[in-house]
Structure 1
Amino acid sequence: MNWSNFEFYNPEFLWLLLVLPLVAAWQFFMRKKDTALLTIPSIKGFKTTSFVSKLKPVLYLLRLLALAAIIIALARPRNVAVSKKTKTNSGIDIIMAIDVSASMLARDLKPNRLEALKKVAIDFVDRRPNDRIGIVVYAGESFTQTPITSDKNIVKRTISELQWGQLDGGTAIGMGLGSGVNRLKESTAKSKVIILLTDGVNNAGNIDPRTATELARELEIKVYTIGIGTNGMADFPWSKDPRTGKLNFRKQQVEIDEKLLQEIATATDGKYFRATDNQSLKEIYDEIDALEKTKIEEFKYYNYQEKFRVFIFLSIGLLLLEFVLKNTLFKSFL
């Protein structure tokens, strides 16, 4: 029996088990009245060492056990087998448009902006088992790194392999957003979302961000925008050592076009966020995850296996055993 699925349909009857000690006490004090007495001046010559006579209390025990079985049967013990079936009513197609320009190597997030994003983005993907996700990367230009897919392993591997230097320098926010819109325009999902992340200002590309925003609005694509970078100065890469290949860093003012990002989010019924450190970046993706929930219906099917009959038969068996013993083995002692 699987005890984790065991229950009593009428557990209130189990309170009657508290009566059993009282019944046992009553039988103990009334035991002498159940036996015929013979008054004689002396018991010399009588042998009272019969083993069978000492077993007479077994009859009372059988009666108590039968009563306990009846009480348990009244409580209706049963085993419940539960099977579940889920149905997704409306999946969400999500494009993560990620800035991979050199400035994403700035060290105001640890170890840098790009690596901090990778960790948070992979965790976000793990929490979206019922949605399709695609990856768009952009710098001075943009392209689709992974088309929309339900294969989360592919998406996570793509994110983990993101690196700067794949594209020309600059930050083409309009092209990053436009590529995301292009990927979602044929989507039949009831909800379409772009998560656009950047750490700079639009300074490259041949698509105006506001034009891409208008297209997203017309296609009912919601855009969440994230500006990543601390307030003030940060260590930015500015050159590479030709001998070692290592990047050289220097302090530079963080510049993010927050006004543009707010306009994009507002026009598409999305929301703008600012991530100034690792913790705030994680909280932003947690909030987006909470805002964009896939509707799932869960159906539960219950199969009950009644167990009270076992206790009824047990009580009948115990009472029959008491009756048989009372009229055979213990008959001469009653």
Structure 2
Amino acid sequence: MNLSLAYPWVAGLLLLAALPLMRSFFRKETVSWAPLLPAHQSSIRMRRLLQTLGVIAIISSVLGLAGLHQTEQTLLRTGNGAHIVFVLDRSGSMNETFGGNVPDETTPAKREIAHNLLSKFVDKRPHDLFGVVGFTTQPFFISPLTEHKSFTQAAIDSLQSPGLAFTNAAKGLGMGLRFFEDQPHTGSRVIVLVSDGAATLDHRAQRVLREWFERYQASLYWFFLRTENGLGINSTPDSSRDDNPRVMPERYLDKFFSSLPVKYRAYEIDTEASLQAAVDELDELENMPLTYEEQIPRRPLHTPLFILAFLCLAGLTVAKFLEHKP
């Protein structure tokens, strides 16, 4: 345990701890002849106990005022798991049900179903590090890559709020991949794209994503939340004229992902059960030995010190109250 003082100059008051050893806690009585009151062992022990309480009370109070605390620590943890970044689609279409309708009490929106299942997935993975990115037309940071599940759960809770604007998966993936920058490469690195649509990727976006996926060696899982009667990943064009990224963006985005030099899996999801199956498969596939650093924040110790000082002073007060008064 590494201890430090927030206000070291206050520690000079520790010299006051010598006062209980120099002066008696009780008032002195004058007697005509000292042998009339011989030293009694129980009295000697009581005096030493009260002196000790006085010393502890002063030391505890001074250290509390000086801001004694346990410094921030970095602990090395090991387990089985992965570094997982959720890239969440927050576009307006996520507010609809799989049937493309307005949600009600019996049929929740796609974002609500995704929220519930991802939240359960995080709870099942005690050793994973999770990060969360959202995207619409532009990406936005939600939660860093962390082992603290409360942060991740709060970030996933953002799915409960309505989405807005359109879908730009490329920028969301780019921000998600940057989470692995300067991270030790232990365990699996995983990008989980949760989206109900796609957008056309220009050549520059494809080049950057290909370079970054190769650099960070992150696996890619695409949970495509397909709307009923909508185009899917495996849909085929009715004519060659329709076989282009603008008409069938999901088909071409899947082709691009398949060409990446990393492990890639796509799941076409149109029910809550199929999303659950995809999450379960992810849980089974990404579970490698993992080493990570856990940051233990600074821990102030003034509260227990003041409590200890109060208890010592309470004991001294009781002893003083019980003092014989002639």
Quote how far apart the aligned CAs of 1:185 are: 2.0
Q: Which runs of 4+ in 1 moved over 6 A?
A: 204-207
| CA distance in 2 between partners of 1:164 and 1:101 (Å) | 11
Candidates 172, 182, 185, aligned match of 1:189: 185
| CA distance in 2 between partners of 1:134 and 1:227 (Å) | 19
Q: Specify the alignment match of 2:257 in structure 1.
A: 264
Superposition CA RMSD, Å: 2.9
Pick the structure with greater CA Rg. 1
Task: Tell me the number of residue pairs that the alignment of Structure 1 and Structure 2 aligns.
Answer: 191
Quote how far apart the aligned CAs of 1:231 are: 4.2
Which structure 1 residue ranges, 5 or more long, are not aligned? 1-86, 235-253, 298-334
Q: Specify the alignment match of 1:152 in structure 2.
A: 149
Secondary structure at 2:159's aligned position in 1? coil
Distance 1:137 1:151, change over 3 A: same
Paired residue type of 1:258: R
Quote how far apart the aligned CAs of 1:294 are: 3.3
| CA distance in 2 between partners of 1:259 and 1:150 (Å) | 35
Partners of 2:98 and 2:110 within 8 A in 1: yes
| CA distance in 2 between partners of 1:148 and 1:102 (Å) | 26
Which deviations, in whole Å up to 9, do the C-alpha atoms of 1:271-311 show, x marking residues without a partner?
Answer: 111111110011101001100013389xxxxxxxxxxxxxx
Q: Specify the alignment match of 1:97 in structure 2.
A: 87
Candidates 265, 270, 277, aligned match of 2:271: 277
TM-score between both structures, scaled by the size of structure 2? 0.53
Which deviations, in whole Å up to 9, do the C-alpha atoms of 1:39-68 show, x marking residues without a partner?
Answer: xxxxxxxxxxxxxxxxxxxxxxxxxxxxxx
| CA distance in 1 between partners of 2:181 and 2:200 (Å) | 25
Question: Whose strand proportion is higher, 1 or 2?
Answer: 1
Distance 1:213 1:128, change over 3 A: farther
| CA distance in 1 between partners of 2:280 and 2:131 (Å) | 18
TM-score between both structures, scaled by the size of structure 1? 0.51
| CA distance in 1 between partners of 2:290 and 2:178 (Å) | 28
| CA distance in 2 between partners of 1:216 and 1:296 (Å) | 20
Q: Specify the alignment match of 2:120 in structure 1.
A: 123
Quote how far apart the aligned CAs of 1:118 are: 0.2
Partners of 2:201 and 2:253 within 8 A in 1: no
Quote how far apart the aligned CAs of 1:262 are: 4.6
Partners of 1:133 and 1:149 within 8 A in 2: yes
How high is the sequence identity, in percent, across the aligned residues? Answer: 26
**More off after superposition, 103-112 vs 151-160:** 103-112
| CA distance in 1 between partners of 2:96 and 2:169 (Å) | 18
Quote how far apart the aligned CAs of 1:90 are: 5.8
Paired residue type of 1:188: P
Which structure 2 residue ranges, 5 or more long, are not aligned? 1-76, 100-106, 232-246, 292-326
Q: Specify the alignment match of 1:173 in structure 2.
A: 169
